[in-house]
């Protein structure tokens, strides 16, 4: 395997372990020599992988070794969450919680109607929630689903927090659909009053905002709009 592919594979492995909660904050990684031996790579390759995770805020180094950040300034990407849904049917990573503030049927804005191919006046399920880990609010999100999903999965209209994490998994199982295409678009901007209140940041603070569109050959399954505070990082792996 090429050194570049090996480096990204190692970084992605430990990134996923941290995001999934399998490596606790403050946990010490094996020594670099031990890591090189277990992965069968050179010191240069392992150093590059670990430095990438330090830059992302997942790890920190000290004379005593390499450790998982006590309060990682990272949050899961759309790709991470979709993989999580596909693996364990939950959109939340381990140790994450969510508070649902909106769960209702509503007529969406025109641009969302066009995304779902609706006629004027048609409704969609709208859910809004704040995701957090410990004391930190990591994401504010609003998602849309086809209205008929609410008949099949009534909890889509529930604000009970314990039902939020596994809803998309239940939708996929009940509708027997599978997400085969996913796209994220992101941009930096300032938070409006609603977003600022949800994230616990000043009105007008810098945020990273984005949208995701998850679909199959039958159309859009979930369309979401989200934002995270400026201090947090999201990362993606790509390439063959």
In the 3-class helix/strand/coil scheme, how is the chain assigned residue by residue? CCHHHHHHHHHHHHHHHHHCCCCCCCCECCCHHHHHHHHCCCHHHHHHHHHHHHHHCCEEEECCEEEECCCCCECCCHHHHHHHHHHHCCCCCCCEEEEEEEEEEECCCHHHHHHHCCCCCCCEEEEEEEEEECCEEEEEEEEEEECCHHHHCHHHHCCCHHHCCCHHHHHHHHHCCCCCEEEEEEEEEECCHHHHHHHCCCCCCEEEEEEEEEEECCEEEEEEEEEEECCCECCCCCCC
The per-residue pLDDT of the chain, averaged, comes to 88
Q: Please tell me the number of Cα atoms within 13 Å of 19 on its side-chain side.
A: 27
* C-beta separation of 56 from 235 below 8 A: yes
* C-beta separation of 192 from 203 below 8 A: yes
In DSSP terms, 28 is beta-bridged to 67
For the chain, which domains are there? 3-68 (1.10.10.10), 78-229 (3.40.1410.10)
pLDDT for res 153: 96
Between 223 and 71, residue with greater pLDDT: 223
pLDDT for res 73: 62
Q: With bands split at pLDDT 50, 70 and 90, how would you rate the model's confidence at 54?
A: confident
Q: With bands split at pLDDT 50, 70 and 90, how would you rate the model's confidence at 1?
A: very low
- Most confident range (mean pLDDT) of 21-25, 161-165, 192-196 is 192-196
Q: With bands split at pLDDT 50, 70 and 90, how would you rate the model's confidence at 238?
A: low
- Global pTM value: 0.72
Tokens for 134, please give them.
């410990």
pLDDT at 88 over 90: no
* C-beta separation of 189 from 210 below 8 A: no
Average pLDDT of the segment spanning 102-108: 97
pLDDT for res 136: 76
Q: With bands split at pLDDT 50, 70 and 90, how would you rate the model's confidence at 188?
A: very high
pLDDT for res 225: 96
Average pLDDT of the segment spanning 177-201: 93
Q: What percent of the chain has pLDDT over 70?
A: 93
* C-beta separation of 209 from 175 below 8 A: no
């Amino acid at each position: 395997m090429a050194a570049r592919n090996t480096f990204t594979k190692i970084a992605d492995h430990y990134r996923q372990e941290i995001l999934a909660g399998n490596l606790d904050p403050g946990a010490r990684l094996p020594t670099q020599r031990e890591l090189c031996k277990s992965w069968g790579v050179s010191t240069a390759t392992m150093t590059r992988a670990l430095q990438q995770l330090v830059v992302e805020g997942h790890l920190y180094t000290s004379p005593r070794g390499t450790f998982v950040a006590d309060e990682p300034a990272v949050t899961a990407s759309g790709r991470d969450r979709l993989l999580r849904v596909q693996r364990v049917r939950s959109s939340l990573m381990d140790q994450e919680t969510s508070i649902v503030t909106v769960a209702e049927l509503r007529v969406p804005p025109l641009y969302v109607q066009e995304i779902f191919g609706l006629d004027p006046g048609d409704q969609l399920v709208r859910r809004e929630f704040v995701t957090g880990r410990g004391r930190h609010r990591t994401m504010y999100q609003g998602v849309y689903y086809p209205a008929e999903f609410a008949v099949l999965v009534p909890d889509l209209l529930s604000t009970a927090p314990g039902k939020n994490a596994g809803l998309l998994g239940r939708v996929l199982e009940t509708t027997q659909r599978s997400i085969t295409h996913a796209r994220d678009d992101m941009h930096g901007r300032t938070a409006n009053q609603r977003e600022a209140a949800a994230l616990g940041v000043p009105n007008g603070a810098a945020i990273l905002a984005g949208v995701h569109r998850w679909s199959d050959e039958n159309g859009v399954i979930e369309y979401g709009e989200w934002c995270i505070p400026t201090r947090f990082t999201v990362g993606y792996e790509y390439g063959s």
